[in-house]
Structure 1
Amino acid sequence: MEIKPQAVAIPRSTEHLERGKYGPIFPKTPACYGFTIVANVKPGRADTIRGYGQRIAEALKADPGFLAPLKLHYLRWVLFDDDTRFMYQGIFDTDFDKYTEDAVVLFTRSGINTAFENLEGFPLDWKTNTPAFVKFLRDHQCTSFLEYGEYPYFTSDEIKKALKLKAAFTEMLEQMQ
């Protein structure tokens, strides 16, 4: 099976998209699902946001499966404009509705609050008010107009399985020598 890179141009209008519980469901692209938000940081909170990054890194060191329920490919957090603005970018395997609901459950159970609490306008009742959490995300979402995948439409689980198979095959070849 030959895997060919693919790209999809995403139309500006969302009127044609299926509606989910929280609004339009963007189609799966060669990069899978994802979203980007950009929001203003509450004054003086940039270091607190950086601290959340450290907490997530430590949680993953202690439990490499900590974020597994989110079916992530990657996350990117960026502070910019002299630490006054924050960008969150995530690519994952589930649609937006499931991802946001799973994120609320994960962070509520873990006891780690979200870095988003340090963003202007973020609802402090996000753990019990998923619609308000989603509204914040939708209000701050910067929708892509092009998405590309070098290995299109593969899930994170499929990629991990392929890497395990490669490692096992490499080990077998090394043992044969």
Structure 2
Amino acid sequence: MSDDVSWTRPAALAIPREGYFELQRGRYGPIYPRTPACYGFSIIAKVKPGREETIRAYGKQIEEAVAANPEVLAPLRLHYLRWQLFDVGSGLHFQYQGIFDTDFDKYTEDAVMLFSQTGITTVFTNLEGFPEDWKENPEAFVRFVREHQCPSFLEYGEYPYVTADEVKKALRLKAAFSDMLDQMQ
């Protein structure tokens, strides 16, 4: 999608079953399109037995890391992140949903780098089939993510194709105007 698409009108995009419109190869597989919601993925994988509390504790660890340093996840260029645990009858599963501003491959490479630099271990270590050598082998990390990716078939954006940085810039501008108007009274 081109950058000249207006953010002033909501947009929706139906995506084919494969997750892309035209097969283009990235570093690790198909390139998924930028949608009105930007880029993103949903990963679903089975949780290793006995790891539910570890995963929940990891969520608390991320909360604390962001509270201590609000920029800790900045390299991921995230808009939203949502984690869910659920049982589909064959055991506990984990779903990782993320919306971000970079392509699929870059996001996962940035995640490996971030976790390696911060010492925070990825929650994926608690999932069946996750590679033990993920820190030294980003390709294996990306392969796991791609194998567990469930492509969406519809994405919607109320303010389509807008990056997280553009949203923050607009909010800073709004705050500056508000401050200016308050000073004029």
Q: Bigger shift: 5-14 or 103-112?
A: 5-14
Q: Does residue 1:50 correspond to 2:59, yes or no?
A: no
Q: 1:3-152 to 2 correspondence within 5 Å? A: 3-13=8-18, 14=20, 16-81=22-87, 84-152=92-160
Q: Normalising by structure 2, report the TM-score.
A: 0.92
Partner letter of residue 140 of structure 1? H
Q: CA deviation at 1:2?
A: 6.9
CA distance in 2: counterparts of 1:79 and 1:146, whole angstroms: 23
Q: Does residue 1:157 correspond to 2:157, yes or no?
A: no
CA distance in 2: counterparts of 1:34 and 1:2, whole angstroms: 18
Equivalent pairs counted in the alignment come to 177
Q: Bigger shift: 81-90 or 64-73?
A: 81-90
- Secondary structure at the aligned position of 1:50 is classed as helix
- Secondary structure at the aligned position of 2:97 is classed as strand
CA distance in 1: counterparts of 2:22 and 2:178, whole angstroms: 47
Q: CA deviation at 1:17?
A: 2.2
What fraction of aligned residue pairs are identical, expressed as a percent?
68
CA distance in 2: counterparts of 1:102 and 1:109, whole angstroms: 10
Aligned-pair RMSD on alpha carbons?
A: 1.5
- Secondary structure at the aligned position of 1:69 is classed as helix
Q: Normalising by structure 1, report the TM-score.
A: 0.96
Q: Does residue 1:170 correspond to 2:170, yes or no?
A: no
CA distance in 2: counterparts of 1:35 and 1:161, whole angstroms: 25
